[in-house]
Amino acid sequence: MTMKKTVLVYGLISGALASGMMLAATRYVKTMELRKADLIGYSSIVVVGLMIFFGVRSYRRNVGAGKLSFRRGFLVGLGITLLSTTCYLATFQLLYYVLEPGIGEKYAACMVERARRSGASSAELAERTEQARQIEKLYQNPWTNIALALIEPLPVGLVFVTLSAAILRKR
């Protein structure tokens, strides 16, 4: 398996899992079942991280003959992350603009409801409501929508890439 093939296989699997879990979590956001939405969201982070790790490990085993430099491991992991993030972003855009056009308002309502359930004061609720409106406004612009959607998976992916490359490097 070459580097390109490893990135494609593990990136697409990771992207499909992240996209599927996002779609599953959306169901719970719509019904205000916040704990379930959080559980799926956090689980998807772990699943994507594991796919990066397994992809780098597969590359070391199948292409590197058991050897892997940090640089090569980082590049393989980065490719997997970028492909997975692209799938995630495409799914988010499809979800936001086509499948669930009102999801922005529902998410804003979730933010306020979460604050209310945690015992926030009326002043804190008013502040959270204003924050939710501002975020909803940002999501309406396609460019900030893309940037905000990338803020979720990309930094976490880069952490997993760095850890995987460091843990799996072998001379």
Q: What does the domain layout of the chain look like in residue ranges?
A: 3-100+152-168
- Residue 5: the pLDDT is 95
- Residue 168 host element (H or E): helix 153-168
- Residue 30: the pLDDT is 66
Q: What is the pTM of this model?
A: 0.85
- Residue 16: the pLDDT is 95
- Residue 32: the pLDDT is 66
Under-70 pLDDT residues of the chain: 29-30, 32, 34
Terminal C-alpha separation, the chain? 20
Distance CA 13, CA 17 (A): 6
Q: List C-alpha distances in Å: 5 to 9, 11, 46, 52, 80.
A: 6, 10, 23, 14, 10
- Residue 13: the pLDDT is 96
Bridge partners (DSSP) listed for residue 68: 170
Q: How many helices (H) and strands (E) does the chain have?
A: 7, 0
